Amino acid sequence: MTTRPITDTQPTQPDRNFDDLAERFGRTIYATPRGQLRLLALAQDFHDCAVGAPQSLLDLGGGQGQFSLQLAQQGTQIDLLDVSSEMLALARDQFAAAHLPLTAQLGSLQQVNEFFPQQYALVLNHAVLEWLERPFDALPLLVSKVKPGGWLSLMFYNLHGHQWRQLMNGRTHAPAAATERLRQQGNAPQHPLDPDEIADVLQQLGMTIKRWRGIRCIHDHMHQKIRQRIGQDAVNQADLEFGLKEPYRRLGRYVHLLCKKADNHDE
């Protein structure tokens, strides 16, 4: 196990608020096969690990709440926090259209205890960590919001998948993180993350990793013409299958870690 410090030492800059991306985000992610594959992968992990539909869920950096909405349909109460009022407005619209309750607050996850002081049976943090200036600082906070015996579902942008795409696109001296230009445009996650470093810190914080999956480990590396020829269902099936296998899962664009906190009664 590596001994990465639990806190970051990077200079502080603001995290990435999605106000200007909100409308495009729904269109470019969830209305596409990439977003549908993400939802399928998460649903399969929840099913395989028998997470069920917990009573309470906190979605930190929840955006438009697409995955939370699926759990709300099974009766889970959703509390959602995000720094983007545009994303929150879209989340409220989606829940209202589905006639489902949602408690949505505008605020940063670093200040979560001001809005939602309690612990939850399930905490989601999906595709947020890589947009934070100090991603490792957030991990103890995320873990602290999980009840004993509860779950943390953490999905983040994978350093290895990012670098492999850069290489396959001919950028043989690709930087590990976003270039300054992409960073200024705000369209690329500023911190692709090494899954082993994240997993080590979670374990140091007392979490047990029940599922380690790569998402879009086949989809993103297959030529579009080949995807069209074999069809989206076949691509999805391969992605779901190889996303659980070494070494392919390490090339996923995202990694999903589904982790459990020890119950007070556990040894």
Ligand X SMILES: C[S@@+](CC[C@H](N)C(=O)[O-])C[C@H]1O[C@@H](n2cnc3c(N)ncnc32)[C@H](O)[C@@H]1O
Nearest to 127 by CA among 83, 177, 61, 65: 61
135 forms part of the interface with ligand X (CB under 6 A): no
87 forms part of the interface with ligand X (CB under 6 A): yes
* CA–CA dist 245, 210 (Å, integer): 14
Window of 91-99, 107-115, 159-167, 194-202 that interacts with ligand X by CB under 6 A: 107-115
Window of 4-12, 81-89, 196-204, 226-234 that interacts with ligand X by CB under 6 A: 81-89
Nearest approach in angstroms of CB 134 to ligand X is: 10
Window of 97-105, 122-130, 172-180, 198-206 that interacts with ligand X by CB under 6 A: 122-130
Contacts of 12 (CB under 8 A, 6+ apart): 133, 134
Nearest approach in angstroms of CB 144 to ligand X is: 15
Nearest approach in angstroms of CB 164 to ligand X is: 20
* Binds ligand X (CB under 6 A): choice among 4, 8, 17, 85: 17
82 forms part of the interface with ligand X (CB under 6 A): yes
* Binds ligand X (CB under 6 A): choice among 116, 120, 131, 136: 131
Nearest approach in angstroms of CB 24 to ligand X is: 11
* CA–CA dist 264, 148 (Å, integer): 6
* CA–CA dist 29, 186 (Å, integer): 16
* Binds ligand X (CB under 6 A): choice among 46, 69, 76, 84: 84
Nearest to 241 by CA among 215, 211, 210: 215
109 forms part of the interface with ligand X (CB under 6 A): yes
Beta strands in the chain (DSSP E): 56-60, 77-82, 103-106, 120-126, 146-157, 207-215, 254-261
Nearest approach in angstroms of CB 66 to ligand X is: 5
Task: Give the bridge partners for 125, in sequence order.
Answer: 154
Q: Helix axis angle, 195-204 relative to 135-144, nearest 10°?
A: 40
61 forms part of the interface with ligand X (CB under 6 A): yes
* CA–CA dist 4, 70 (Å, integer): 35
68 forms part of the interface with ligand X (CB under 6 A): no
Q: 3-state class of 7 per DSSP?
A: coil
Give the interface with ligand X as residue ranges (CB under 6 A).
15-18, 61-63, 66, 81-84, 87, 108-110, 126-128, 131-132
